Amino acid sequence: MPSPYRAIFAAPGALGFSAAGFFGRMPLSMMGIGIVTMISQLTGRYGLAGALAATLAMAAAVVGPRISKYVDRYGQRRVLRPVTLVAVAAVAGLLICAQQGLPDWTLFVFAAGAGCVPSVGSMVRARWAEIYRGSPRQLHTAYSWESIADELCFIFGPIISIGLSTAWFPEAGPLIAALFLLTGVFWLTSQRATEPVPQPREQHTSASALRSPGLQVLVATFVATGAIFGAVDVVTVAFADEEGHKAAASLVLAVYALGSCLAGAVFGLLHLKGAASTRWLVGVCAMAVSMIPLQLAGNLPFLAVALFVAGLSIAPTMVTTMALVEQHVPRSKLTEGMTWTSTGLAVGVALGSSAAGWVVDAVGAEAGYAVPAVAGALAAVVAVLGYRRLRRPVPTRGGHGADGHHIQDGEHVA
């Protein structure tokens, strides 16, 4: 492991909560694609599969920020354990209804319940922020490490989920995803020493972190970015199915995540200067441009190469986004602010997977890659229009901006 990464784990408890977070985040890459694979295996209806994945993501988008707001106020252990049990119970109901062939509406009810899931990645990043709040260089490396962990989830998660659902039984992928969630959350919340201390009640207001203009830009852009991810997942499964190698979809999606993982590893070693907002804008535009070659995908090897290249811009953009959240959200609302970016992604995944599913059913998988291309163009437009808002961080109570400068109460940094 390169020395900057080894150094951040010198902090007591860091390895433990990061490892627990890895397991808890596996469902992020497993559950949606597992539902798509399960329903397509059982019914052959990609439209229904995409709509259920969209329902799951939308429910998580609605509930996630509220869960994180309570976490900031009451602590991780007190909030995360009960909501995780609710989510796991809903997944169990969804699998039973699918296996028994019950009416479609029952699937949607339980898919919505399964969305009552915490943003585990935000919980882990909040712990890193608590440890390295006064050390921006180490915090940059820690965020890069967590981005690598995210991408490792997206490398192995689809392989496990699609592989189990196609080789074992259709419900296996979502089932294992639920077990990962249960294990990860209870392991994470058992580590009390590194849990961020809940902020005093007087620091909390009824106002949402989303009132920050900069956070609004990040979330709106991530809606379109999430649509890229959701559409790519659904269309790739359908494309591999049309090519006669449905199980290979997991490998192709793993290559997509591998590109991001490698880029994130390199990014974490760099000590970049200049405005984080500029790097973020370049990253979003690069993600948009990378969707163009997918329109030429005629076979799985070409698609894998195109997705690998597309993945190179993901992790650096995500790392920079977390740094910008710190700039634009007060410390007492940090977990909520981070979760809002995940919420934007979840809403986008819902829209992208649903739109892609209907396009695949209507005109075929190859044409479905137009959906992530359109989503990428929208992300770039929103990022360009909102760029000026990101150049003025808000004061954070004793916090640090993404460029490493200390921000005192009442101070604005241009």
Least confident piece of the model among 55-59, 211-215, 268-272: 268-272
More confident residue, 332 or 221: 221
- What is the rounded distance in angstroms from the CA atom of residue 336 to the CA atom of residue 210? 9
Predicted confidence band of residue 89 (pLDDT cuts 50, 70, 90): very high
Predicted confidence band of residue 36 (pLDDT cuts 50, 70, 90): confident
Q: Determine the pLDDT at residue 125.
A: 86
Instruction: Please check the confidence at residue 174 and state whether its pLDDT lies above 80.
Output: yes
Q: Determine the pLDDT at residue 411.
A: 32
Predicted confidence band of residue 206 (pLDDT cuts 50, 70, 90): low
Predicted confidence band of residue 253 (pLDDT cuts 50, 70, 90): confident
- Can you give the residue ranges of every domain in the chain? 11-196+209-406
User: 3-state SS string over 233-281?
Assistant: HHHHHHHHHHCCCCCHHHHHHHHHHHHHHHHHHHHHHCCCCCCHHHHHH
Q: Determine the pLDDT at residue 201.
A: 56
Parallel/antiparallel/unpaired status of strands 399-400 and 406-407: antiparallel
CB 346 within 8 Å of CB 29: no
Q: Which candidate, 331, 27, 379, 371, places its Cα nearest to that of 219?
A: 379
Q: Determine the pLDDT at residue 205.
A: 54
Q: Determine the pLDDT at residue 234.
A: 83
State pLDDT tens for residues 367-413.
889 999 999 999 999 999 988 887 765 554 444 443 333 333 333 32
In the predicted model, what is the mean pLDDT of residues 320-344? Answer: 78
Q: Which residues of 219-241 are buried (b: 16+ CB within 10 A; e: fewer)?
A: bbbbbbbbbbbbbbbbbbbbbbb
> How high does pLDDT run on average in the chain?
82
In the chain, % of residues over pLDDT 70: 90
CATH class of domain segment(s) 11-196+209-406: mainly alpha
Q: Which candidate, 226, 30, 17, 25, places its Cα nearest to that of 120?
A: 25
In the predicted model, what is the mean pLDDT of residues 144-167? Answer: 80
Instruction: Please check the confidence at residue 1 and state whether its pLDDT lies above 60.
Output: no
